Structure 1
């Protein structure tokens, strides 16, 4: 019966988010690619269970573990701020299958200009979807800003890739294999701040420990975006820096020399193995519910907070993913 269910705060992750291990456990569940196979009906059922539990309504036949399973599925598909169901390719559970395919192809077909243009465009299109879907706060992004961010990030990635390709021609071939990583890192430094520039200009919501909204802060937005950029670059690092050595070795072997068509599938598979672990482990580098000292906020917000009966020394915000 519902009354026998433990009363826990399911608005917070099941595992302790103050520790890296707890955050890693949470993101291994949230980024699980199997979540993508959940039907709309299953997602709506998970949402209903979560909402009913929050309201204290009866949940006959369900255990607290069932509630947590529903919450984990809910978290994988619904935005934490807007509560809307996210576009499937923008969900974190789509990161591994999409990134392994795109990254594998970027690193296989990196030598010709048409291939660089095509795969960097595909990668930035996917990044734009992910960044928009996982934006912090509940402010809509204007189409004009969305388009500008997309063009700047794609242009930055393509320019970086083509420039580095021309520069590394005099170096050993293995060096050229790292060009896609440099392009991806550069694009992340452009794409994410551009896509979320509205947050930089207007701020993101900040809350006290109990979830009471205190206002919007640009300082919190800068902190959130910086954390996401670092996480994304680290997320790409293992799958883009280690496979070049593996592929450079394999391509010298008779097996791959006689079957060059296996190059892309093998590279995609290798990168997939790295991303299965790198994605949740790097998402966990910083708490999803990040915090910042009240003294580090803008003066006007500090003044507003100090006027409260029990002003908090730290405020919290959703950093986005």
Structure 2
């Protein structure tokens, strides 16, 4: 999609376009910093509903008189931060990407602080994976809904993977590694769990395929390969998102423990210090990680022909034999 025109003529404002060039990483970073701004979490429901209503009226050609370009931009920001792109329904506050900074910093800070005992390790991994499951469900592809059973299996599997990995790493490192290496147990568990949680919460996309579109945004079929590609990109993005805070902070804390003033106050200063530091990392890393790959991802139809011939034949039928070289799909978040 093309970037929104600089022309301030309200009638030309396009809610389906992006404010910045999405073909460039910096453009994607600016966009995700805009829609994942943690301050958007404090927007009340009535304001969000007004933003959605303004968007609907404008798209119907019934823009209220006196509406400015800035008001439309604000409505776009609020809508895209709080409403599901497929259904248009308001998303759960705790599952929105704009809640990643406050939610992630509190949970990650706790994981980095209380990891020395198995009960504490298991508890905070469970809390983290419960949060991740909610985020993954909230940002799912609404065209591939999960049954209650599938959701339950996905949740239990991801939580179990995190806890088993955390306990396994802890037991291994307790015997062989330094105290510094033991601080990396939470990150190893989170990375492993993400590789389980996201694919399971989006399993129907892998089973049935995701919608694919031509260059004119016309739906032309389904693709399982596209689903696998999109989910793989999301898994990598989520790991990158939490990596700096969970890998650099252990080094910082290890260094701080060399100072007597820190050791004397560690009981009350460790948790708030690490939580605040994680929040600083996440303010940058949430948009940085989301922007790694274009939201409108692409897939070569040659790849479809090689890996899923049935879906390729369906695509060929849908387009009357004139198969495009590339198709596009929404990778999700």
Q: What range is the shorter-chain TM-score in?
A: over 0.9
Cα distance, 1:136 vs. partner? 2.3
**Alignment correspondent of 1:267:** 274
Tell whether 2:44 aligns with 1:34.
Answer: no
**Alignment correspondent of 1:132:** 137
Tell whether 2:211 aligns with 1:205.
Answer: yes
C-alpha offsets along residues 235-277 of structure 1, whole Å, 9 cap, x if unaligned?
A: 1110100011111122232222222211100000111111110
**Alignment correspondent of 2:325:** 313
Q: Out of 38, 62, 67, which is 1:62 matched to?
A: 67
Secondary structure, counterpart of 1:242 in structure 2 = helix
- Check conservation: 2:115, 2:121, Cα contact below 8 A: yes
1: CA distance, partners of 2:47 / 2:113 = 37
1: CA distance, partners of 2:116 / 2:284 = 28
- Check conservation: 2:107, 2:127, Cα contact below 8 A: yes
Pairing of 1:36-51 with structure 2 (within 5 A): 36-51=41-56
2: CA distance, partners of 1:209 / 1:181 = 39
C-alpha offsets along residues 27-63 of structure 1, whole Å, 9 cap, x if unaligned?
A: 0011111010001111001111111111111232222
Cα distance, 1:6 vs. partner? 4.4
Secondary structure, counterpart of 1:258 in structure 2 = helix
Structure 2: gaps spanning 5 or more residues: 1-7
C-alpha offsets along residues 114-146 of structure 1, whole Å, 9 cap, x if unaligned?
A: 101110000000000001111124222111111
Tell whether 2:166 aligns with 1:164.
Answer: no
- Check conservation: 1:137, 1:205, Cα contact below 8 A: no
C-alpha offsets along residues 85-140 of structure 1, whole Å, 9 cap, x if unaligned?
A: 11111000000111111011001001101101110000000000001111124222
**Alignment correspondent of 1:155:** 160
Tell whether 2:254 aligns with 1:234.
Answer: no
Q: Out of 87, 103, 109, which is 1:104 matched to?
A: 109
**Alignment correspondent of 1:258:** 264
**Alignment correspondent of 2:289:** 282
- Check conservation: 1:6, 1:64, Cα contact below 8 A: no
- Check conservation: 1:305, 1:312, Cα contact below 8 A: no
- Check conservation: 2:210, 2:227, Cα contact below 8 A: yes
Secondary structure, counterpart of 1:52 in structure 2 = helix
2: CA distance, partners of 1:58 / 1:167 = 63
Secondary structure, counterpart of 2:21 in structure 1 = coil
- Check conservation: 1:113, 1:162, Cα contact below 8 A: yes
**Alignment correspondent of 1:173:** 179
**Alignment correspondent of 1:85:** 90
Secondary structure, counterpart of 2:115 in structure 1 = coil
2: CA distance, partners of 1:144 / 1:22 = 40
2: CA distance, partners of 1:257 / 1:318 = 49
**Alignment correspondent of 2:192:** 186
Secondary structure, counterpart of 2:236 in structure 1 = helix
So what's the TM-score if we normalise by structure 2? 0.92
1: CA distance, partners of 2:324 / 2:13 = 24
Structure 1: gaps spanning 5 or more residues: none
- Check conservation: 1:137, 1:204, Cα contact below 8 A: no
Indicate how the Cα distance of structure 1 residues 201 and 18 shifts in structure 2: closer, same or farther if over 3 A, else same: same
C-alpha offsets along residues 160-195 of structure 1, whole Å, 9 cap, x if unaligned?
A: 111111111232211111111000000000111111
Bigger shift: 293-302 or 146-155? 293-302
Cα distance, 1:206 vs. partner? 1.1
Cα distance, 1:210 vs. partner? 2.2
Cα distance, 1:216 vs. partner? 1.7
